[in-house]
Amino acid sequence: MLRATKWLTFNDCEMNQKNFQALLRNEIPSIRISKFASSEECNKLALAIEKIGFDFYKNVEPPIGRIGITQFEYGNRGKFGYFDAVKKATTNYNQVTSLSFDPVKRLTTILRQHVSSKVQIAYENEVYGYYFAGLIRQINIALLHIDFAQLDAPDWQIGNITSQLVWNLYLKAPSQGGVCKVYNRQWQPEDEKYKTPGSYGYDYSLVSSSEVKHNIPLTGDLVIFNSRNFHEVLPGIGERITISSFIGKMPGGDLIFWS
């Protein structure tokens, strides 16, 4: 049953067991880990990203640059394509992080300390192996959308999650704007009729009366929110570069990462 009540707070919540569970239940809008990465660490990662360069999603408007892959891209193309691409994506991610630090490993360590000892990269099976986690993106604007593996990947292992979060580490934040707006409105199957044809975006009438949290991008901060909630990224002045992945809660309580 989805919560339809108001959030308990609009403040940035700190990382702890209580707040993490509240976020999974959509009782709070977000968790922020301030200064998750130092300025020096962010600068080193940004320089490494510049050397590799971004690819851009096909048929996505406005354009979004990325290093790495998403399961969503392969939802209709079969598992072999995705898992074949995991090796290259992981190699590129490791090239970037080897020059500074690994945000995925740092966050999994924090979660093991504060939330659960059972945290790992998502694993499909013996045939396919592990998922990729650690998508690097350059986003100036993102349409109103949701991310939820029960919808996007029902026949994949990640489709078994009971709730889903997403985290974004801001390596570069715009000088103005670039806010991620998260709405207190969780996706339901009947919402698919409001999806814009030929796009990943949804009609704004879905969130017209919803509470909204403005997550301001700050370099070095990491923000986690419930990705089943409708959300969007507003235009900004200056470059906006993030590293991110999903965190899914499995039926037994294990936490899994994937992009």
pLDDT of residue 1: 43
Any bridge partners for residue 177, and if so which?
236
| Tokens found for residue 177 | 């704007």
Among the listed residues 146, 143, 153, the one whose alpha carbon sits nearest the alpha carbon of residue 226: 146
How far is the C-alpha of 197 from the C-alpha of 70, rounded, in Å? 21
Query: Where are the chain's structural domains?
Result: 17-258
- Is the domain 17-258 a CATH 2.60.120.620 member? yes
Q: What pTM did the predictor assign?
A: 0.94
Binned average pLDDT, 10 residues per bin, the chain of 259 residues:
76 95 97 98 95 79 84 87 96 95 98 93 97 93 95 96 98 94 97 92 96 97 98 92 97 96
Question: Strands 64-67 and 212-215: what pairing?
Answer: unpaired
Contact, 140 vs 240, CB < 8 A?
yes
pLDDT of 139: 83
